[in-house]
Amino acid sequence: MRKIDPVRFQVATQGTSREINRQIVLNLVRANQPISRADLARTMGVRRGSVSLIVSDLLLSGLIVEGATGKTVRGRKPTFLYIDSRRRTVVAVDVRASQTYLMPADLLGKPLSGVVGFPTVRDPKALAAALGVRIRALLADHGGLAACEGVGVAIPGMIEHSTMRVLHAPTLGWRNVDVHDLLASAIGLPVQIENSGRACALAQLWAMHGGTSTSAGDFVFVSVSDGLGLGVIVRGELLRGRHNVAGEFGHVPLTMDGPRCSCGALGCWEAYVSNRATLARYFGRPAESDEPVPADERTFTVEDLISRARRGDAKARAAIQATGRYLGAGLVSVVNVFDPTRVYVGGEITAAWDLIEGDVRAAFAERALTPAAAATEIRPVAASEYPRLQGAAALVTAPAFAAPVVA
């Protein structure tokens, strides 16, 4: 149960119930559109007149719109309601150590066109400038800057929630970087920044039942890419911690003397399962090294490695199966700590899930504390679903649908 803080609290007013009901209607439209006023009233168990007042307010604010009329045997034909996403866009940005990806989306997070990418520029000022140019070009085909509600950015690092300053992004080599202000100045739009793993968890939360239900229980999202990010959802809320670094399991050591991680420590979970770690294992070299990477390896990807494994390359298969074992060994610690209903795994390695699932499960079961923990569902999320970009879009779109905070 949630305790009321006797020092910091918000007193319920006459408008509190209206605000809550307004958000309920908005989310019901989002989850069930097209939906009529009569259906809303039946779903909420209230009189149609009460719903009509809320709908009128949402129509006036431009959050919903009336569409087609339905059929009826007698009486007035119902007019269906929709979230108004026709002329309003957001831009999602996924910054990785190797590549940066952009995707325009509507207010429901639905992609408006294909994903575009370019090699990541490590200098924050140069990256902000490059993103500004590309975002403006992208929006030129989707209503321009005036139609854009904002830009959401997923970054592989620890983010100070109040200022959105990047405190530490090991794979990018960033410390205390105010990329938020740099990007906002370069684009001229509101910018929201979040850790990549938490962005993925946010995307998954809003994908379930229109984002209005926690019936699926608590869950964890593990994003495997150039690094490893993790987001935790507890009772329908994103777990942040006091300093917004909760869930940084990627830098919890599997061993004390393992390979060097991007953070500088030895034996971190990330140093065993990231894309860079998997490729380094295949080529027989350290993932983190001062030695230059050979030219023929620079453009070689995990997708290329999986392709080789499927063609019978035993070394490639061994490399990705080792990643599966290390993935399972780390996941069990997450489950033993949080006891979630489900674990989602995203990233390019999921394209080889049929090749590594047995290894993941075996390593997982070996260290699970109870039979129930060992049976925790582990579900892959294909890279083609773009969970990091979907999460970046949700940073901008989700607040309009969030429940009001009542102490």
Divide the 407 residues of the chain into consecutive groups of 10 and give the mean pLDDT of each group: 58 70 86 86 85 87 78 69 82 95 90 92 95 93 85 95 92 94 93 95 78 61 95 90 85 92 93 96 84 78 96 97 97 94 96 97 94 95 93 90 62
* Residue ranges making up the domain that contains 373: 207-385
Flag whether 97 is in a domain. Answer: yes
Are residues 214 and 360 both part of a single domain?
yes
Are residues 349 and 362 both part of a single domain?
yes
Rounded CA separation 158/234 (Å): 19
Q: β-strands 116-119, 64-69: how paired?
A: unpaired
Residue that terminates a domain, selected from 42, 59, 83: 83
Q: What is the pLDDT of residues 260-285, one digit of tens each?
A: 999 999 999 999 999 999 999 999 98
Flag whether 189 is in a domain. Answer: yes
pLDDT, residue 52, reads: 86
> Which DSSP letter does residue 94 get?
E
Are residues 361 and 231 both part of a single domain?
yes
Domain count, the chain: 3
Flag whether 3 is in a domain. Answer: no
Flag whether 1 is in a domain. Answer: no
Indicate the pTM of the whole model.
Answer: 0.87
C-alpha of 287 from chain center: 26
Are residues 284 and 140 both part of a single domain?
no
116 and 132 Cβ atoms separated by less than 8 Å: no
Flag whether 7 is in a domain. Answer: no
Are residues 73 and 186 both part of a single domain?
no
pLDDT, residue 228, reads: 95
Nearest to 322 by CA among 353, 359, 352, 290: 359
Rounded CA separation 173/265 (Å): 14
**Residue 349 identity:** I
Are residues 190 and 155 both part of a single domain?
yes
Are residues 323 and 227 both part of a single domain?
yes
Domain harbouring 104, CATH code? 3.30.420.40
pLDDT, residue 214, reads: 41
Are residues 237 and 298 both part of a single domain?
yes
Are residues 108 and 146 both part of a single domain?
yes
Residue that terminates a domain, selected from 37, 63, 83: 83
Stated as kind and residue range, the H or E segment containing 195 is strand 191-195
Flag whether 233 is in a domain. Answer: yes
124 and 148 Cβ atoms separated by less than 8 Å: no
Are residues 198 and 114 both part of a single domain?
yes
pLDDT, residue 38, reads: 87
**Residue 227 identity:** G
Q: Give the relative orientation of helices 353-367 and 314-338 as an angle to the nearest 10 degrees.
A: 40
Flag whether 6 is in a domain. Answer: no
Are residues 377 and 394 both part of a single domain?
no
Are residues 45 and 146 both part of a single domain?
no
